[in-house]
Structure 1
């Protein structure tokens, strides 16, 4: 009995000592990877076999099934048991878990894992556990394929494309919704009787921006941002141009498109608007200037009341004329054809045109634009711009006629914010809905007053919007 008790005490001390050693060395510590049971004659033992032991440091470790009984967790006997470090791996075939490297995927030469998806232009790409890459299939506003397709046929197409940082990474649907903004003309607009101007001697080239009479009165290029406000910007800009031109600078003003964006009812703000509602608002209410109601690129509270004057709206009064009422215009009128539009621009100033925009137009860099086959199967959206002039370009024996237009995407786009587009063929419907108006100037030059009385083709004889 004493002998058996001494044996148990000795065995307990050995287990405790082995546990202390293993704990001090981080469980397996310095013995990890050293064969013990593997080198023992007879290898591993079943049941409890006290002789199934191997020396380790200053004590013994065991290779029998009983060695792990001190631990309730059979898969993790350390440090409570007295098993040799390689007992589980050699005797039971159980190996410690390995650090598994995260699955990697590759897309266009870039490696990434499931936890860090990457973006390919406007599409998000994720890494699946199978190692396959799955990307969204959105149509992007611009992409390398579109740009390369256009530039590969520049000689026959007549214009070049480029990649704009502002557009890269955006979906085409975003461009249609937030970079255009003019809704399709209503039936009322389409059914209007169009004004016919008696064409006089028209030059081959004319540009209001370069005309010595008008250059200082033409509104600068604006950037509508990611807000579908072309309906507001083009309307305010045409009205501004005509105030300066028709008064010979006495009422040169930059009118507020933000007022239209914030105050015109039955419009959708940055989601688009109708031109007839915009012109109707200016005719009935009038606009303040840009400094008084600056452009924000988003709808805001309308701070101009229907009964306001410039003073009551908190605006600075002009210095050259005693004006306090808001800037108003007469009814807008529609123009009939190419020569009518040209005559109107030359005699009275820039006009407003509605065009259908397709995806390749966003990548336009320069040249005379025409829709390319690169965007033939894609839907388009309506956009309004200013027509400021026209010209001709001769290549060999071929002459190409074009309009000069001001866009509202900033001076970083196109030809410093302007673009040229085919003239005389209604390219992208740009000659279908062309509008103009007469400003209610405070002081009108005598020639202007006289033209209203004597010209048989002016506004009083055309059918207006309202």
Structure 2
């Protein structure tokens, strides 16, 4: 041993550690393998229905949902095999949606990241090193995780999450603002760029900021509660398209709507939260060090990404290969709340901590972590923040 070069000694030691991990430790943390035959999966399906309060209108629908559930068990097993325990996947409330249904119902139509004017971008002013980790969730700047349900309204949740953080950054009490107001009332568009806010069919957080600027304020969640994505449950609303809804950019609106449940009837400007005014908005460039800097300086940030592989995410740092998570095809908007690093015998992985809008039972208590520094899934391509008026 004493005659071996020091570098070779270290390499040999790492190889031995890896072999030890593969032989003894890795099998202990590997996710359980779900049954893939109908007979074994049926009891699991019944248990899953009870856990997530799933009730179907008739036996035919239930049989079709069980087939989807069975196929998703295979998908989850395949994902756990591909990611080898570095990221784990598991059953959740989305397990009765096929991958196509998930994309159509929960995600937005895929789109390229917007290109903003140079004046929109925040200039970096980093003069020293950043802390190794940072998290707004333990500093009363992030509200509880919500569930968008069966609607492509993530963009409104992302925008409102950012505005909530901006309000709290001004020293105001952390407040839940109305996502439904954005979904119902925001018909903003940028025809030249082919971008528009389309209610339950998707939109852009930066256009949502512009809507709040034009509207003059926001109601709270309690005064204008969320109902668009409840999927037929009590309290579901059938909202008509927002004033200004662009059928060319958004596609045809829902075939049936109820005007009494829509913006023109429900919006009450007298209930706008006192003092809350959006005066402008800013964008952050794609450099992830700059994003981390502005996250600390400005507060939680609205971001967008390609989320088609996140349906069954359960735990770990999400690090998919680029060819299965195209960073140019954004279909989901979320809230960036922190960052950090995770050390293992394989080295250190930097990650972003992100608040999702698929409920607190999804992922890591409603959050997920994504590899930081490589532009994974386009997470760095559409980063924005509202600017509030200081009253």
The interval holding the TM-score normalised by the smaller chain is 0.5 to 0.7
Mapped to 1, the partners of 2:379 and 2:118 lie a distance apart of 17
Contact 2:111/2:329, CA 8 A, preserved across alignment: no
Aligned residue for 1:279? 209
Conserved? CA contact 1:230–1:384, under 8 Å? yes
SS at structure 1 position matched to 2:91: coil
Any conservation in 1 of the 2:113–2:381 contact (CA below 8 Å)? no
1:192/1:417 CA distance change after superposition, 3 Å: farther
In 2, Cα distance between equivalents of 1:280 and 1:183: 22
Cα drift, residue 154 of structure 1: 4.1
CA distance in 1, matches of 2:288, 2:345: 24
Task: Specify whether residues 381 and 353 from structure 1 end up closer, same or farther in structure 2 by C-alpha distance, changes over 3 A only.
Answer: closer
- TM normalised by structure 2 equals 0.67
Q: What is the SS of the residue equivalent to 1:412?
A: coil
Partner in structure 2 of residue 297 of structure 1: 228
**Alpha-carbon distance in 2 for matches of 1:353, 1:203:** 21
| 1:241 aligned residue | 165
Q: Distance in 1 between matches of 2:114 and 2:333?
A: 17
TM-score (norm 1): 0.57
* Equivalent residue, structure 1, for 2:364: 415
Does residue 180 (structure 1) correspond to residue 130 (structure 2)? The answer is no
| 2:165 maps to 1:216 | no
Say which structure is richer in helix: 2
User: CA 1:274–1:141 in structure 2 vs 1: closer, same or farther (change >3 Å)?
Assistant: farther
CA-to-aligned-CA distance 1:420-447 (integer Å, 9 cap, x gap): 00001000000111111222242xxxxx
Separation in structure 1 between the aligned mates of residue 145 and residue 185 of structure 2, nearest angstrom = 23
Query: Secondary structure at 2:310's aligned position in 1?
Result: helix
Against the structure 1 CA distance between its residues 416 and 278, is the aligned structure 2 distance closer, same or farther, given a 3 Å change threshold?
Answer: same
- Tell me if structure 1 keeps the 8 A contact 2:313–2:363: yes
Which 5+ residue runs of structure 1 have no aligned equivalent? 1-106, 111-115, 125-138, 318-322, 443-466
Number of matched pairs: 295
Counterpart in the other structure of 1:426: 375
Q: Do 2:304 and 2:330's aligned partners in 1 also have CA atoms closer than 8 Å?
A: no
Cα shift readout 1:44-73 (whole Å, capped 9, x = no counterpart): xxxxxxxxxxxxxxxxxxxxxxxxxxxxxx
Select the structure with the greater relative contact order (CA < 8 A; seq sep ≥ 6): 2
Structure ID, larger Rg: 1
Q: CA deviation at 1:396?
A: 1.8
Residue 140 (structure 1) shift = 7.5
Residue 148 (structure 1) shift: 1.2
Please name the residue that 2:75 is paired with: 146
Q: Residue 437 of structure 1: SS of its match in structure 2? A: strand
* Alpha-carbon shift at residue 168 of structure 1 (Å): 1.9
SS at match of 2:374: coil
Aligned match for 1:261, one of 183, 187, 195: 183
Show the counterpart of 2:91: 163
1:9-408 matches, within 5 Å, as 108-109=38-39, 122=65, 143-155=72-84, 158-164=86-92, 166-181=93-108, 184=111, 187-189=114-116, 194-199=121-126, 200-210=128-138, 215-245=139-169, 247-248=170-171, 250-265=172-187, 267-285=197-215, 286-298=217-229, 299=239, 300-302=261-263, 309=269, 312-313=270-271, 323=274, 327-336=276-285, 337-358=287-308, 360-371=309-320, 382-408=331-357
Residue pair 2:112, 2:330 contacting (<8 A) in 1 also:
no
Give the superposition deviation at 1:363: 0.8
1:183 shift after superposition: 6.1
* Structure 2 CA distance for aligned equivalents of residues 374 and 121 of structure 1: 31
- Post-superposition CA distance 1:61-87 (Å, at most 9, x none): xxxxxxxxxxxxxxxxxxxxxxxxxxx
CA distance in 2, matches of 1:262, 1:283: 16
Mapped to 2, the partners of 1:122 and 1:190 lie a distance apart of 46
SS at match of 2:100: helix
Partner secondary structure for residue 152 of structure 1:
helix
